[in-house]
Structure 1
Amino acid sequence: MSDIDVQGTVAEGFEAVRDEFATAVDPQAGAQLAVYVHGRLVVDLWTGDGVAEDTLTGVYSSTKGAATLTVAVLVQDGLLELDEPVARHWPAFAAAGKDRITLRDVLTHRSGVIGVDGGLTADELADDRVIAQRVAGQRPYWRPGTAYGYGGFVTFAMAGEVVRRATGRSLQAHFEERVRAPFGLDLYLGLPEAEEGRFREVLPGLAGPDELAAFWANLPGPHSLTGIGYGLNSTPPLDQVAFLNARRVRALGQASAGGVGSARGLAGMYTAAVFGLDGRPPLLAPGTLGEFAMPHSVGGDLVTGNTHYALGFQAKGLRFPFLSANAFGHNGSAGSESFVDPRSGIALGYTRRRFSFDWSYPEHDRLAAAVHRAAAATS
């Protein structure tokens, strides 16, 4: 790809990250990259039409990192129990053989509940409460605990229902009070109307006719596990590009994929979780951090094929082998990426407005590696 016009700043020793950003990012993507190292902002870059330093866009499943962090804080407070059956708080969930599924099973994608027969409409998927009502009676798609598979749109509706019933407040309200507001993070599970002027719509991927034909020819069937996990079994199949471009989705802040934010917001959240930010102490105590960063589901994801999970988070130490074993975070459709490495001190956030037509984002590897090299050289 050709060089692009890059705005922003990098700290001394991180100039190579700017160079990598200029060559690795699709010129039409509209992207942001922010990196903290041990609590210090060292990379703050952006590029593309309609993208500025404070632009907000849909981060899709990077939202799951924010939702997981909220659950971790509540577990740390003693308000939630990871190994308690979900049905203890939510009796209707016990239907169809789900009585022994725990919150840990849900967070590690081992519950077998990745969608519902007949699918969920885009309007239903906007609202975690509606999703919870629909999945309560659903039979799991495999025996709980025997395997794992990604529930792209329903996982944190289930976790959120446990949060609501155990605490009397929504997961989104806890995120705002405990995570976003205290640290002033530009990351929202429920975008206020006052911030709408900074939101930029997500754009579809660009591809030629032959590339599109090949992509559609290899698309999983709507009633396959992959199709169910990604909401393709509804009528019509879910349009992910349109999903977060709907104000209702952004306003409700659906906890699996409805988050809106910036690269600074994502990187700042992970910095706040592990190292603290702007003089405030870290959100997670060492014991909580160790539990949630530990790999839980590894091997073969029945939905995605190759994703590994810690507790709620993706296991980024298995995704990027130059990171430490307990690095964790979460990526999202349209190409967002975010993670923290407790050992090296790196917390990275990356957003882009435009989907890749084939959902591949090779710049993630290049940017993460460039950041790691620079951080190692300056430590």
Structure 2
Amino acid sequence: MTDVHGTVEPGFESVREVFAGIAANEARDGGAQLAVHHHGRLVVDLWGGDGVDGDSLLGLYSSSKGAMALVVALLVQDGVLDLDREVASWWPEFAAEGKEKITLRQVLSHRAGVIGADGGLTPEEIADDRLIAARLAGQRPFWEPDTAHGYHGTVIGALVGEVVLRATGRTAQELYEERVRAPYALDYYLGLPEELEPRFRTALPLLPTPAQQAFLAENPIAPDSFLAIAFNLHADPPFDDVGYANSRAVRAQAPLSGGGIGSARGLSRMYAAIAGELDGRPPLLVPGTLAEFARIHSKGTDVVTGSESAFGLGFVPLATRYPSLSTTAIGHSGAPGSQAFADPATGLAYSYARRRFGFLAGPGAPENDRLVQSVVEAAAKTA
């Protein structure tokens, strides 16, 4: 990547070098941001590429699942939510079609089997968690709950959000604003205010190489597959991943599965509030809560994606993806290739954000491997 801007603290110069060396086909012409906190200090604040600066707000897609999980963890910590209570005890309509025994823990660990809706969700529904929840209340599970795990990619936020609303009378978005975003002045939003729209940079589609185009042509997604159902590709029209963040309805209503908008700086700061003390405040999660949400609840072949995956509760236990992290490291990736996490064992909080989609970016674009390693090594040397 050329024309890298921003700052790094002494000891983190190598991270700047790695960020600057990212190949053009990784961050592409859409631009990227990298922010890292260490023991509550912003030690890396970098950006580069066309159309993006440090204050740009980007569609960070499933990164919002991390914010959702944080809200739930706080409510569990407060004794408001019980992980092993049945979802239907809060939301009676959800008991239909054999779902009466599904627990909140099973939903958070992607074991409920409620990965989508028969016939698909409309664009209006996909932008509104309450509409999704209304559809899913009467939906049959696609496998026997708790017998397998599979990524509930576009609907987990609606399921969890409905439980939060029924239990507290407040939306998860409202609780995030009041308990997390506003107190810490985070530049990461579940519901982007209209006045901040000028800072939003539209998501940009993948520009596949001929080899990538050939791969996509040779590996079509069957419309009746779990993958198609989970990503709403069986709908008419099918889910438009790039158009999702580019929709004002999505940005304003912030469906919890992927509607968060922000900067790498803002999301790293959210995780810094988990990783340790921030602004003189203790960590948001006490050790027992953190350990329970970081503990691996699902691991092995994901029946939706067909790949190996691991899930904690809402969060992803990221030592399974980046071996240099500790077993308490929790976070979540986003569809364009973004990645963000907290590692309380080392006091690190990390967020990499990109504007253009990467090829099969999945659980974080591949450049995160180099970036995370360089961050961990630099932090160890400055400890």
Q: Give the TM-score band, short-chain normalised.
A: over 0.9
Q: Return the offset for 1:27.
A: 4.1
Between the two proteins, what is the percent identity of the paired residues? Answer: 57
1:333-348 alignment to 2 at 5 Å? 333-348=335-350
Corresponding residue number in structure 2 for 1:133: 134
Please tell me whether the aligned partners of residues 335 and 356 of structure 1 are also in contact (alpha carbons under 8 angstroms).
Answer: yes
Corresponding residue number in structure 2 for 1:367: 371
Deviations 1:212-266 (A, max 9, x none): 2321321321221111111111112111000110000000011011110110111
Corresponding residue number in structure 2 for 1:188: 189
Corresponding residue number in structure 2 for 1:230: 231
1:85-234 alignment to 2 at 5 Å? 85-234=86-235
Tell me how far apart the structure 2 counterparts of residues 230 and 206 of structure 1 sit (CA, whole Å).
20
Q: Return the offset for 1:211.
A: 2.7
Q: Return the offset for 1:158.
A: 0.5
Please tell me whether the aligned partners of residues 297 and 310 of structure 1 are also in contact (alpha carbons under 8 angstroms).
Answer: yes
Tell me how far apart the structure 1 counterparts of residues 126 and 34 of structure 2 sit (CA, whole Å).
29
Tell me how far apart the structure 1 counterparts of residues 229 and 277 of structure 2 sit (CA, whole Å).
38
Deviations 1:59-78 (A, max 9, x none): 10011000100111111111
Structure 1 stretches lacking a partner, 5+ long:
none
For residues 217 and 359 of structure 1, do their structure 2 counterparts lie closer, same or farther at Cα, with a shift above 3 Å needed? farther
Task: Give the CA RMSD over aligned residues.
Answer: 1.2
Tell me how far apart the structure 1 counterparts of residues 309 and 67 of structure 2 sit (CA, whole Å).
18
Tell me how far apart the structure 2 counterparts of residues 373 and 220 of structure 1 sit (CA, whole Å).
40
Q: Return the offset for 1:294.
A: 1.1
Q: Return the offset for 1:208.
A: 3.5
Tell me how far apart the structure 1 counterparts of residues 298 and 10 of structure 2 sit (CA, whole Å).
38
Corresponding residue number in structure 2 for 1:9: 7
Letter of the structure 1 residue corresponding to residue 224 of structure 2: H
Deviations 1:264-291 (A, max 9, x none): 1111111112313222222111111111
Tell me how far apart the structure 1 counterparts of residues 377 and 298 of structure 2 sit (CA, whole Å).
28
Tell me how far apart the structure 1 counterparts of residues 277 and 263 of structure 2 sit (CA, whole Å).
19
Please tell me whether the aligned partners of residues 8 and 43 of structure 2 are also in contact (alpha carbons under 8 angstroms).
Answer: yes
Letter of the structure 2 residue corresponding to residue 131 of structure 1: I
Corresponding residue number in structure 2 for 1:244: 245
Please tell me whether the aligned partners of residues 334 and 352 of structure 1 are also in contact (alpha carbons under 8 angstroms).
Answer: yes
Tell me how far apart the structure 2 counterparts of residues 333 and 188 of structure 1 sit (CA, whole Å).
17
Tell me how far apart the structure 1 counterparts of residues 354 and 214 of structure 2 sit (CA, whole Å).
24
Please tell me whether the aligned partners of residues 188 and 260 of structure 2 are also in contact (alpha carbons under 8 angstroms).
Answer: yes
Compare 80-89 and 275-284 and name the one that shifted more. 275-284
1:346-357 alignment to 2 at 5 Å? 346-357=348-359
Deviations 1:173-229 (A, max 9, x none): 001001100000011110000111110000011124453232132132122111111
Tell me how far apart the structure 1 counterparts of residues 30 and 371 of structure 2 sit (CA, whole Å).
15
Letter of the structure 1 residue corresponding to residue 33 of structure 2: Q
Deviations 1:311-341 (A, max 9, x none): 1101101111111122110001011100111
Corresponding residue number in structure 1 for 2:381: 377
Q: Return the offset for 1:124.
A: 0.9
The alignment's TM-score, normalised by the length of structure 2, stands at 0.96
Q: Return the offset for 1:106.
A: 0.5
1:73-88 alignment to 2 at 5 Å? 73-88=74-89
Please tell me whether the aligned partners of residues 4 and 27 of structure 1 are also in contact (alpha carbons under 8 angstroms).
Answer: no
Tell me how far apart the structure 1 counterparts of residues 220 and 150 of structure 2 sit (CA, whole Å).
18
Tell me how far apart the structure 2 counterparts of residues 51 and 213 of structure 1 sit (CA, whole Å).
30
Letter of the structure 1 residue corresponding to residue 88 of structure 2: A
Corresponding residue number in structure 2 for 1:329: 331
Q: Return the offset for 1:39.
A: 1.1
Compare 253-262 and 226-235 and name the one that shifted more. 226-235
Please tell me whether the aligned partners of residues 27 and 49 of structure 2 are also in contact (alpha carbons under 8 angstroms).
Answer: no
Q: How many residues align?
A: 377
Letter of the structure 2 residue corresponding to residue 258 of structure 1: G
Q: Return the offset for 1:358.
A: 3.5
Corresponding residue number in structure 1 for 2:41: 40
Corresponding residue number in structure 1 for 2:287: 286
> Any idea what SS the aligned residue of 1:333 has?
coil
Tell me how far apart the structure 2 counterparts of residues 80 and 378 of structure 1 sit (CA, whole Å).
39
Tell me how far apart the structure 1 counterparts of residues 51 and 282 of structure 2 sit (CA, whole Å).
35
From 307, 318, 324, the counterpart of 2:309 = 307
Tell me how far apart the structure 2 counterparts of residues 119 and 204 of structure 1 sit (CA, whole Å).
23
Tell me how far apart the structure 2 counterparts of residues 29 and 81 of structure 1 sit (CA, whole Å).
42
Tell me how far apart the structure 2 counterparts of residues 208 and 341 of structure 1 sit (CA, whole Å).
35
Letter of the structure 2 residue corresponding to residue 20 of structure 1: V
Tell me how far apart the structure 2 counterparts of residues 274 and 347 of structure 1 sit (CA, whole Å).
6
Deviations 1:1-47 (A, max 9, x none): xx411000001111110010011253424100000111111100001
Runs of 4+ in 1 over 6 A off after TM superposition: none
